[in-house]
Amino acid sequence: MFSSENNDNKYVNNFINDLLNQFNCDTESQTHNISTNNELSFDATVCSGNQQYEEAAEKKNSFLFDEVDDAVEAAVKAQKELVKCSLAKRAEIINAIREKIRENIPQLVRMELDETGYGRYEDKVAKHLLTINKTPGVEDIKPEVYTGDDGLTLIEKRAYGVACCVLPSTAPSCTPIHNGICMVAAGNSVVFSPHPGGKNTTYAVLELMNEAVREAGGPANIFVTTKEATIDKANEMMHHPKIDLLVATGGPGVVKAILSSGKKAIGAGPGNPPVFVDETADIPKAAKDIIAGNSFENCIQCNGEKECLVIDSIADLLIGEMQKNGAYLIKDMATIDKLTDLVTTDKGGVNRKYIGKDAKIILTDIGITVGDEIRTIIYEVPADHITVMEEYLMPLLPIVRVKNVDEGIEKAVIIEGRRRHSAVLHSRDVHTITEYAKAIQTTILVKNGPSFAGVGYGGEGYATMTIAGPTGEGLTRPKSFTRETRCALIKEFNVRSGTR
């Protein structure tokens, strides 16, 4: 994507300056910490295997263990120490994690891109900055207090204990960063289950996070994992008697697995977010926002726009504006069929070869040559087309024409498929916005903006990497990973009323 690593670092520093300005951060004090050498601060520049990490384990408190039992026991010990720490110490640990990751963003992004092959370099930089800047900390677990004639009641958010976090291949760095910050704030330690397709990136992140904890004076092994990233190890973690909380970010299979474990489970499953555009929308802005959201990270984000429904009378105008913003339009059905066959397996599944790949690469493989300015492939199909009804984690945007708002809302609900994840709408009609929101019932609903605004990137509110639609926690945050304790003091400590 870039001609050299020096260009990478130059680009990243400029990009980070812009993003930090958006987040109202002090760019002079933040960006000078971005490393410009070719090695990470931890001793691992090659991630083809685990030998480097195993050797490092002999010198430090290791976060990598051969056996699940040993990893869990280390996490149990760490959690007992963590929960003794003051909230101020937890905040100090979290700030150390944020800064340690900040110093290594270019290298982590390059590592993830090289290992997984998913997404876009500049978008991963943005995602890492979003994660470290807008994931909440200890401020999110404030208590609730009620006082009255009958005394005082205090509701505290307290730790679960040891959590097991199952990670996706689409975000093997940002997900453990987000989960880790939240868990420290909540007072939990974590046994991570990396995805085999992104395990080395995850190991690198966990090494950095543990290093940050040590430097901040926190307990060893708050974040641990196993040297093997396999389904068997993941299952063993999920069913371990000393694991108190399960958190899974991934596909329907892993969510089903944690929900059948008998433990407290928080599941972030797949989405298939429709975007609907009506005739009252700001069409040029809608087109720009939709292409930005769909092409971000080459649409590997589950909240990205996956298909577009548009009122027939404005469809041609919208398509024209999309083409001005980096979309390539395929017009003939034969080529659309060729594209569909390319990205779909013989058994009707998604061809994983093209997940997260640039639009240019996908088009090249169906005989179409385009430049780097093309970010998304658009084409018109019926509402029941397979690339509409199923989630393809690629920069594809099938377009479906509808006669009116009622048909658009009805079809959007069918396409979303009760996944309860995300949806987008471009409209300036308050009634349409209201009816769409009532009907779609998603965890995230973005109105008049790109999909990523719903997770705090260009939108208000905190950021998350685990969107728990299936289990109802929504955009997870530190308090999502706590349990409530209600303490009642009867007839005392109410100074507003009553007499003794």
The 3-class secondary structure across 207-256, one letter per residue, is HHHHHHHHHCCCCCCCEEEECCCCHHHHHHHHCCCCCCEEEEECCHHHHH
Residue 251 and residue 225 share a domain: yes
Is residue 417 within 8 Å of residue 272, measured between CB atoms?
yes
Task: Report in angstroms the alpha-carbon separations of 469 from 93, 189, 402.
Answer: 29, 24, 27
The total number of structural domains in the chain stands at 2
Is 497 contained in some domain?
A: no
Is 499 a domain residue? no
Is 228 part of a structural domain of the chain? Answer: yes
In which region does residue 107 sit, left (phi positive, over 0), alpha (psi from -120 to 50) or beta (all else)? alpha
Note if the pTM is more than 0.75: yes
- Residue 422 belongs to domain spanning: 274-461
We report the CATH number of the domain holding residue 309 as: 3.40.309.10
Task: Please name the residue that has the structure tokens 């928080």.
Answer: 266
Q: CB of 381 within 8 A of CB of 398?
A: yes
User: Tokens 């548009």 label which residue?
Assistant: 310
Look-up of token digits 């951060």:
25
215 and 283 inside one domain: no
Query: CA-to-CA distance for 290 and 449, rounded, in angstroms?
Result: 8
- Smallest Cα–Cα separation from 164: which of 53, 68, 63, 60? 68
| 287 and 259 housed in the same domain | no
Phi, psi at 353, each rounded to 5°: -60, -30
Residues 301, 405 within the same domain: yes
Tell me: do 153 and 207 sit in the same domain: yes
Give the single-character DSSP code of 131: H
Residue 468 lies in a domain: no
**pLDDT digits (tens), the chain, 500 positions:** 333 334 444 444 454 454 444 434 333 333 333 333 333 433 333 333 455 545 554 445 489 999 999 999 999 999 999 999 999 999 999 999 999 999 999 999 999 999 999 999 999 999 999 999 999 999 999 999 999 999 999 999 999 999 999 999 999 999 999 999 999 999 999 999 999 999 999 999 999 999 999 999 999 999 999 999 999 999 999 999 999 999 999 888 889 999 889 999 999 989 999 999 999 999 999 999 999 999 999 999 999 999 999 999 999 999 999 999 999 999 999 999 999 999 999 999 999 999 999 999 999 999 999 999 999 999 999 999 999 999 999 999 999 999 999 999 999 999 999 999 999 999 999 999 999 999 999 999 999 999 999 999 999 999 999 999 989 999 999 999 999 999 999 988 888 886 55
Beta-strand relationship, 223-226 and 189-193: parallel
- Does residue 210 sit within a domain? yes
Q: 255 and 291: one domain?
A: no
Between helices 405-416 and 430-440, what is the axis angle to 10°? 30
Query: Using the 8-state DSSP alphabet, how is residue 452 labeled?
Result: G
Of 304, 307, 295, 275, the C-alpha closest to 359 is 295
**Whether residue 278 is found in the same domain as residue 259:** no
Looking at the structure, tell me whether residues 111 and 64 fall in a common domain.
yes
327 in the same domain as 255: no
Assess contact for 412 and 423: CB atoms under 8 A. yes
Residues 236 and 202 in one domain: yes
**Is 494 within the bounds of a domain?**
no
The CATH number linked to 242 is: 3.40.605.10
One domain, residues 23 and 162? yes
In a domain, 500, yes or no: no
Is residue 489 a part of any domain in this protein? no
214, 325: one domain? no
